[in-house]
A = this chain, B = another copy of it.
Amino acid sequence: MRLTSFTDIGFRALMRLASAPERAFSTAEIADEFKLSRHHLAKSIAVLANAGMVESRRGGGGGVQLGRPADQIRLGDIVRILEEGQPLVECFSSGDGCTITPVCCLKHYLGDAEQAFLAALDQHTLADCTLTPLEAAR
């Protein structure tokens, strides 16, 4: 069972933003700190921004910051946003070619398991996994 690297990167960025919610971070700064591709990071942040989890601040000292307090961002919701369009198995997608689907009971159990995964994450918020502030870590 795998989450995409897209989601993994998004989590890292959110944890960094949560460490200093009052200030904005440039994508380049986060990418350099975590040794990530700026391009991939920017794509994850764009999806998070579209969902309101991150917002951009323009001008001098501009960059991105959390769109709402870290304790109001459930970990399950982060996965729901970043993994959207990633089917657990083939029959969870619109282009399902599985010949069993019409008579398959497994899909239901897999769906329940996916919900259990997300429910477990929903017990925690981004505030529970904030990173050490960048300045303190240096």
Contacts and interface: CB of A to CB of B under 8 A. Distances in A.
Interface of A: 1-5, 7-8, 11-12, 15, 33-35, 75, 79, 83, 86-90, 97-100, 103-106, 109-110, 112-121, 124, 128-129, 131-132, 137
Contacts of A103: 131-132, 137
Contacts of A118: 113
B113 A121 contact: yes
A99 B15 contact: no
A132 B105 CA distance: 11
Given A2-B4, A109-B120, 20 more contacts: A1-B3, A1-B83, A1-B114, A2-B2, A3-B88, A3-B89, A8-B98, A12-B100, A15-B104, A34-B99, A35-B99, A75-B109, A100-B131, A103-B137, A104-B129, A112-B120, A113-B117, A113-B121, A114-B117, A117-B117
- When all copies of this chain in the complex are counted, the total is 2
B129 A99 contact: no
